[in-house]
């Protein structure tokens, strides 16, 4: 049976992927993990794609998995592609959904506005409670701040440029929803066609 690792998105956790894991359990040996600082995992000093890729490599080593397929949602897809680029011997195939590829300083500033903890508490308090519960004992506000800092860093230096993506030799499928507000169909098509 093929092994499949499910990777959650930014400010998410592996519990969000349980319905998908359940739907796929008859066809795959399904694995999932929480990235550092997410879902109660130990909070690092800062977030980065490299750190999250290392979380995956550590998990594969700990579970004695030599090579794996990855489904990555949003940031999880970005991490999967980073692994496909820099650790191709560990990855069989990649499927991404709602992964943002286009990063620059202006886009970063636009995206981090959605992570304003005061606005979240004020306008969508139920979501604030979900984040608090999902990431305890970590402070969800710290998690959002570290995520914002990572997005700014990606805007200043995108670690997966089109040139990087072109050199990936792993079979990859790229998906995006019709009504996605963060990821454009244009950027997804551009990457899918390279």
* HSE (side-chain half, CA atoms, 13 Å) at 21: 15
Share of the chain above pLDDT 70, in %: 100
Domains of the chain: residue spans and CATH: 2-102+159-192 (3.40.50.1820)
Average pLDDT rounded to a whole number, residues 106-110: 94
Helices (H) and strands (E) in the chain, counts: 9, 5
Angstrom distance (rounded) from CA 8 to CA 4: 13
112 Cβ neighbours under 8 A, 6+ residues apart? 148, 151, 152
Q: What is the pLDDT of residue 141?
A: 98
Tokens of 63: 């579970």
Share of the chain above pLDDT 90, in %: 88
> pTM of the predicted model, to two decimals?
0.95
pLDDT tens for 7-39 read 999 999 999 999 999 999 999 999 999 999 999
Q: What is the pLDDT of residue 73?
A: 97
Angstrom distance (rounded) from CA 74 to CA 95: 11
Tokens of 45: 């000093």
Average pLDDT rounded to a whole number, residues 111-120: 95
Per the listing, tokens 């981090």 go with: 112
Confidence tier at 1 by pLDDT (50, 70, 90): confident
**Residue 194: pLDDT above 80?**
no
Tokens of 84: 């496909």
Q: What is the pLDDT of residue 179?
A: 82
Measured in whole angstroms, the distance separating CA 116 from the mean position of its chain's CA atoms is 19
pLDDT tens for 134-148 read 999 999 999 999 999
Q: Are residues 25 and 130 in contact, defined by beta-carbon separation less than 8 angstroms?
A: no
């Amino acid at each position: 049976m093929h092994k499949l690792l499910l990777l959650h998105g930014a400010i998410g956790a592996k519990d969000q992927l349980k319905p998908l894991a359940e739907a796929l359990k008859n066809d795959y040996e399904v694995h999932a993990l929480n990235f550092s600082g997410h879902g109660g995992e130990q909070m690092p000093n800062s977030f980065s794609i490299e750190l999250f890729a290392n979380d995956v490599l550590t998990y594969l080593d700990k579970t004695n998995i030599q090579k794996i397929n990855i489904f990555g949602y949003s940031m999880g897809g970005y991490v999967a592609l980073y692994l496909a680029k820099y650790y191709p011997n560990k990855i069989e195939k990649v499927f991404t959904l709602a992964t943002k590829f286009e990063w620059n300083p202006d886009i970063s500033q636009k995206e981090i506005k959605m992570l304003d903890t005061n606005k979240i508490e004020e306008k969508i308090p139920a979501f604030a409670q979900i984040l608090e519960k999902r990431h305890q004992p970590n402070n969800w506000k710290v998690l959002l701040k570290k995520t914002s800092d990572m997005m700014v860093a990606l805007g200043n230096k995108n670690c997966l440029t089109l040139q990087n993506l072109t050199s990936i030799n792993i079979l990859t499928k790229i998906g995006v929803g019709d009504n996605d507000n963060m990821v454009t169909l244009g950027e997804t098509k551009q990457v899918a066609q390279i």
